[in-house]
Structure 1
Amino acid sequence: MPERYLGRTIGKYRVTRHLGTGAFSWVYEAVDLDLEIPVALKILRPEFAGQEVAESRFRKEAATAARLRHPNIVTVRDVGQVDGAAFVAMDLYPLTLGRRLALVGPLPETEVVRLGIGMAAALAVAHASQIVHRDIKPDNILLDQDGDAIVADFGLARALAAGSLGDTNQVQGTPHYFSPEQARGKELDGRSDLYSVGVTLYRAATGRLPFEGDDWYAVARCHIETPPRPPRDLVPELTVEFDALVRRLLAKDPADRIPNAVQLVDALAALPTAPDRSAGLSRLGSNTVDAFRVSPPVPSRWWPAAAILVVGGVIGWMAWERQGGDADPEPAPAITVAADSARPVPVPVDSPPPPPPLAASTPATTVPPVKRPVAALPRTVRVEVTTLDSAVIYVDNRQVGVGRWSADVAVSPRLSLRAVVPDAPTTCRTALHDTVLTGLKAGQRLAVDLPVRGCAVVRYRVEPRDARVQFVPVDGGRAYETRADSVESYSLPWGRYLMRISAPYCIVFSDTVVVNRRGGDAVVPRKLVCS
C-alpha cells in the first residue's frame, strides 16, 4: 500500500502526503529536511525492488531528466536508495494539466497556445539531446505557479543514438495519445512527440479527445486510420489558424506534420492568440534552442480571457484541495484508459430586479421580516487520538497533529487514522499503526489509542560464528532471531529484551538489553564456552 511511507523519513526527505500511483512507482509530497523545502519524491514500488528491468528503467528516467536542463522540464534534485527504497527527488508542482482539465473543463485558446509553446520548448531541448519522450499527455504536464507547462516523467523516454533502440517493436505509451507510428510499434523520432502534443492541445481546447473509447486497440487503430474531427466543430470560437495547426500536428504521416519542435514553437508563437513577446523576450523558435521561459504578461486586449482564467484556476485549486489533493504527477499504467470528464455547462442565475421606490403619495406599509430557514447543524462525531509524543497523526492521509489530536469530524462511512514515528527506518514495523473507524453516529465521542514505537540498532559480536542470537521482549511480544555469521547488528523496536546466544555443544549465554532512541546497550564481544 502506498500509505506505508507516510510520515517516514527516506534519506533526508520526510514523506508528508501521497500524490499518485504509476506503473512502477508511488509519488509523494515530502520535505527536504536539509533545505526545508517541499519536493516531489518518487519511490519505486516494493514489488519491483530487486527486479533488474524495473530498477533500470527507474534509474534511466532519473538520469534522462537530470541531463535535460530547461525551465519547462522538471528538475531532478536527488537520486538514492535507503533501506531498499529507491527514490528520485524532484521539484514539486501543485497541479497537473490533466487534473486542471478535469476540474474546470476546456481552457481559453490563449492559454492553450501558451501551454503548447512551453511543451514545444521543452521537447526542442530533449530532441536536441536525441531523446524522444514517448508519453506526452496532460497527466505528464505539470503547471507551475505562473501556469506555465513543465514536462515531467521521462520514464518511457528513449535515446535515438544508434544501437540504443533495442526492441523497436515494443508498443509503449498511453493509447489515447499514441502517434500512428507508435501504435504500429515502429521506430520513433521527435515527430511522434509532436503528434502527442497535438492530441494534448486538442483536449485542452475542446475538453474532448480526438478518439475516445475503452478499447485501447480500437483507439490505437483510429490513430492509424481515422481522420480526427476538426476542433472548431466542437468549439466554434477557436480560430481558424489554431484549428489548422492542431490538425497538421495530427497528420497520419509524420512527413505531413510540423518537422520539429523548434518550428512548432515558431508556429504557435505566430498564432493570433499567442502571448505577446514584445516585453524584452529573446527570440523563440528556429533561431535558438537555448533555455527560455514563456511567461509574458497577457496583452490588454485579452484581459477578459485572462480574468476568466484566473478565476477558473482559483476555483479549480480550491476544489482540488477539498478533494484531498490527489493530483497525479505520474501517469497511470500505460494501457489503462480513463474516460475524460464531460465539459461542464454553466447555468446562469438571474437575480430579480429591485422593487421601484415608493412614490411620495404612497402610504407606508409595514413589511414583515422574511423568515429564513435555519441551516441544520452538521452531523459530527468527536474523535480523540493519543499516541507516542513524537509520532505524527494522520486522518484520511492528511497530517493533523503530533502526539495527541482531537476534533469534531463530519460523520462519514469510514474514517482512516494513522500514527507514524517520523524518523524510524522503513523496515521498522512498529513505527506505524493505523485503524479505520466505521459505523460512526452523530454525537459519539471516541477515544482511540495508536501505539507505535521507533526502532534502534543493537550491535554485537559473537563466537562461534554459527551461534544463534535471539532477542525476546521482556514485556511480551514477537521474538527476533538471527545467526551470528549473517549480521553483527540488528534493528529492534524500543523496549527491554532478553538476549540469548546459543550454539551446539556450547553453554547458553543470556543477558538483558535495553533498546531506546540512542540504540541498544553496549554489548561486549561474547565468546561462548564450548566443549
Structure 2
Amino acid sequence: MSARLGGRYELGMVLGAGGMARVYAATDLALGRQVAVKVLDPGLARDPEFIGRFAREARTAAMLPPHAGIVTIFDSGQDAESVYLVMELVSGRTLAQTIDASGRIDPASACRIAIEVCQALSVAHGAGLVHRDIKPANIMITDSGTVKVVDFGIARAQAGDALTRTGAVLGSPAYMSPEQITGGAADARSDLYALGAVLHEMLTGSVPFPGEDQFTVLTRHLNEVPTPPSALVPGIPPELDHVVATLMAKNPNQRPATADQAAQLLAAAAQAFAPAAHRSTVALTAHDPHPTRPTTALPPEPAGHRSAPADRDERPRTGLIAGVVVGAVAVVGIAIWALSSGSTPAPSADSAATRTATTAAAASTAPAQIDIPTTAAAATTATTTSSSPAATTASASPLANVKQALTALQQTVTAQAESGGLGATARRALNAQLQNMRQSLSQAQTQVDQNPQNQTQVVKNLQQQFDGQIKNMRQELTAFVEHNEVTAAAKSAIGSALDGLQQSFG
C-alpha cells in the first residue's frame, strides 16, 4: 500500500488495528491538518460486500449533523490499492482506558459522562441512526474534557438496509441488549440498554454480567437482572440503582423511549445526590491506580470553550487516539464477538487486552485488570470460586461438552453469515433454533445444579430435545439451499457443526 492515499493523505504511524481495518495518523496535504485515516484491510478491499459496508459507514457518518459529541468524518475514497475513510484525529483516551486505570468513576462524573453520551445519541437517533455498539471503548474523553461517541461503523438507519437487516445482529456481548442477542430489530432503546451497562461498569468497575464465555454472558443478559451497583460498591446512591435498572430493562418498552428521556433520568438522579457545587463536572483528571481502586473524580466544568488543561504535562501521556475505534465488524446469528482471530475471549471483558487491541492508543502491555469489590452481592455473578458447588458441578457435568459444541455451532453460523453464505431469512431461522437450544441447555444446567443425582435423566431429556431441533435445522438448511438462501458450502460447514453437537452427548 502506498504511503499516500488519493494523492492527498500522507500516512504516518499506525494508531490501531482490528479485523477489518487499520487506523493511521496522517497529514491532509491539501489542508495541512492532522487527521486519522481508516484503511480497509487489503485482503477485503477487493470484496464487494466489505467495500459496500465500508462505504455505508461513510454514508452513515455523513447523515449525522455536526455535534461536539460525535467524531467528524471528513472524506472517503478508493484508489487502485486501498479503500479508506478520513476522520477527525482526537487527542485523549477512551472511557475503557480510564476505567482500567482507576477501577471505577465517581457517581457524579459517571452521570455527567452518561448524559453527554445521551446528547450525542440524541443527535444520531434524530437522524434515524442506531449506534448498536455503545461500550467504554467507543466513548472518548478528549484532553479538553469533551465526551465523544465514536465508531458508527456498525450503525444502521432505523429503516434498515441490505447489509444490516433483521437477523444480522451486531454489537459487543458484554453490553448487548436482549433484542440484539435474539436477532430482533435494534432501535434507540437498544443503545440505551448498552449505556445502562456502561454506567454500571463506570460505577462498579465491572460489567453487569461477567462470565467465563460469551454463551454465559448472553444467557445472563436474556434471563437475569443486573446486581444493583450499590450492592457491589457501598455508598453508590440508590437513585443510580434505579437508573441502571431502568436503562437495562429486558423489555424495550420499559426503558426510556429516547436518549433525551434517559438524560433527564440521569440528571434527576444526579440532582438527588450530588452537592450543588459538584453537579456540573467535566474533564477527567487521571489518578494513579491505587490498590484500593478509588474512584476517579472529574473537576467542575469550566465556562466557555474547553481547552487542554494547563497541567497537561503532569498527566500521564495518553497519545493520539483515532476518532473511530477499529473493530472487527461481523454479521452473526446470535452475537458478534466475531471470529477474526478464531478465539473466544472471556467477555468480562471487553476490557484489558480487547480494549488495547481495538483502540488506537495501544500500549505495549494491557492495562491492569480491574479489581471488583468483594461483597455478598458479588456472589450472584457467574464468576464462582472453585469451592462453589455450582462451579464444581458445572466443570464435572457432561453438559460442559454440549455447551462447547453449541458454542462451536454458533461460531460456525457466525462465520458463514459473515462470509455471505447465509441469507437474511436463513439467519433468522437459525437464530431462533439457537436461541431455543441455549434456553434448553440453561434450564438443564439449572436442574443438574439443583439436583445432581438426576443428571443422567436431565442429559437424556436434553439429548432428545436437541435431536429434534437438529433434525429441524438440517431440514431447514436443505430447503434454504433450494431457495438460494444458503450456499452448499455453508450447509456443509453447519452440518458438520451439527454432527459435533450430536456427538457431544457421548
Taking structure 1 as the reference length, the TM-score comes to 0.54
Partner of residue 106, structure 1? 104
Partner of residue 81, structure 1? 78
Partner of residue 192, structure 1? 190
Choose between structure 1 and 2: higher strand proportion. 1
Alpha-carbon separation, structure 1, partners of 2:191 and 2:372: 32
Deviation of 1:264 after TM superposition, in Å, equals 1.0
Alpha-carbon separation, structure 2, partners of 1:325 and 1:76: 15
Change (3 A) 1:315 1:103: farther
Q: Where does the alignment leave 5 or more consecutive residues of structure 2 unmatched?
A: 285-295, 302-307, 330-335, 339-344, 352-367, 374-506
Partner of residue 53, structure 1? 49
Q: Counterpart of 1:215 in structure 2: which amino acid?
A: D
Find 1:24's aligned residue among 20, 35, 40. Answer: 20
Deviation of 1:305 after TM superposition, in Å, equals 3.7
Partner of residue 255, structure 1? 253
Find 1:155's aligned residue among 148, 153, 156. Answer: 153
Is 1:335 aligned with 2:332? no
Paired residue secondary structure (2:37): strand
Greater relative contact order (Cα < 8 A, sep 6+): 2
Is 1:143 aligned with 2:170? no
| Mapping 1:370-385, distance limit 5 Å | none
Q: Deviations over 1:314-366 (max 9, x none)?
A: 69962645xx98998223554164534533699xxxxxxxxxxxxxxxxxxxx
Partner of residue 203, structure 2? 205
Deviation of 1:35 after TM superposition, in Å, equals 2.6
Choose between structure 1 and 2: higher helix proportion. 2
Partner of residue 36, structure 1? 32
Alpha-carbon separation, structure 2, partners of 1:80 and 1:142: 25
Q: Counterpart of 1:46 in structure 2: which amino acid?
A: P
Q: Counterpart of 1:139 in structure 2: which amino acid?
A: A
Deviation of 1:272 after TM superposition, in Å, equals 2.7
Alpha-carbon separation, structure 1, partners of 2:70 and 2:273: 20
Q: Counterpart of 1:228 in structure 2: which amino acid?
A: P
Paired residue secondary structure (2:249): coil
Deviation of 1:104 after TM superposition, in Å, equals 2.6
2:142/2:148 contact within 8 Å kept: yes
Deviation of 1:183 after TM superposition, in Å, equals 0.6
Paired residue secondary structure (2:62): helix
Deviation of 1:185 after TM superposition, in Å, equals 0.6
Alpha-carbon separation, structure 2, partners of 1:314 and 1:79: 33
Is 1:92 aligned with 2:86? no
1:103/1:319 contact within 8 Å kept: no
Paired residue secondary structure (1:49): coil
Q: Deviations over 1:371-407 (max 9, x none)?
A: xxxxxxxxxxxxxxxxxxxxxxxxxxxxxxxxxxxxx
1:207/1:342 contact within 8 Å kept: no
Change (3 A) 1:180 1:344: closer
Deviation of 1:261 after TM superposition, in Å, equals 0.7
Alpha-carbon separation, structure 2, partners of 1:131 and 1:327: 18
Change (3 A) 1:125 1:328: closer
2:283/2:298 contact within 8 Å kept: no
Who wins on radius of gyration, i.e. which is larger? 1
Higher mean C-alpha displacement, 229-238 vs 192-201: 229-238
Change (3 A) 1:8 1:166: closer
Change (3 A) 1:295 1:90: farther
Deviation of 1:275 after TM superposition, in Å, equals 12
1:110/1:274 contact within 8 Å kept: no
Q: Counterpart of 2:254 in structure 1: which amino acid?
A: D
| Mapping 1:105-124, distance limit 5 Å | 105-124=103-122
Paired residue secondary structure (1:188): coil
Partner of residue 64, structure 1? 60
1:20/1:327 contact within 8 Å kept: no
1:134/1:193 contact within 8 Å kept: yes
Find 2:220's aligned residue among 219, 222, 228. Answer: 222
Alpha-carbon separation, structure 2, partners of 1:9 and 1:162: 31
1:131/1:160 contact within 8 Å kept: yes
Find 2:237's aligned residue among 221, 233, 239. Answer: 239
Higher mean C-alpha displacement, 266-275 vs 153-162: 266-275
Alpha-carbon separation, structure 2, partners of 1:328 and 1:316: 27
Find 1:171's aligned residue among 147, 169, 172. Answer: 169
Paired residue secondary structure (1:251): coil
Change (3 A) 1:46 1:307: same
Change (3 A) 1:64 1:230: same
Q: Where does the alignment leave 5 or more consecutive residues of structure 1 unmatched?
A: 280-293, 299-303, 347-531
Partner of residue 7, structure 2? 11
Change (3 A) 1:127 1:164: farther
1:110/1:273 contact within 8 Å kept: no
Q: What is the Cα-based RMSD across aligned positions, in Å?
A: 3.6
2:110/2:203 contact within 8 Å kept: yes
1:99/1:328 contact within 8 Å kept: no
| Mapping 1:126-525, distance limit 5 Å | 126-161=124-159, 167-272=165-270, 305-306=297-298, 318=316, 320=318, 329-332=325-328, 334-335=336-337, 337=345, 339=349, 340=351, 342-343=369-370
Identity %: 36
Alpha-carbon separation, structure 2, partners of 1:328 and 1:68: 14
Q: Counterpart of 2:369 in structure 1: which amino acid?
A: A
Paired residue secondary structure (1:153): coil
Taking structure 2 as the reference length, the TM-score comes to 0.57
Change (3 A) 1:325 1:119: closer
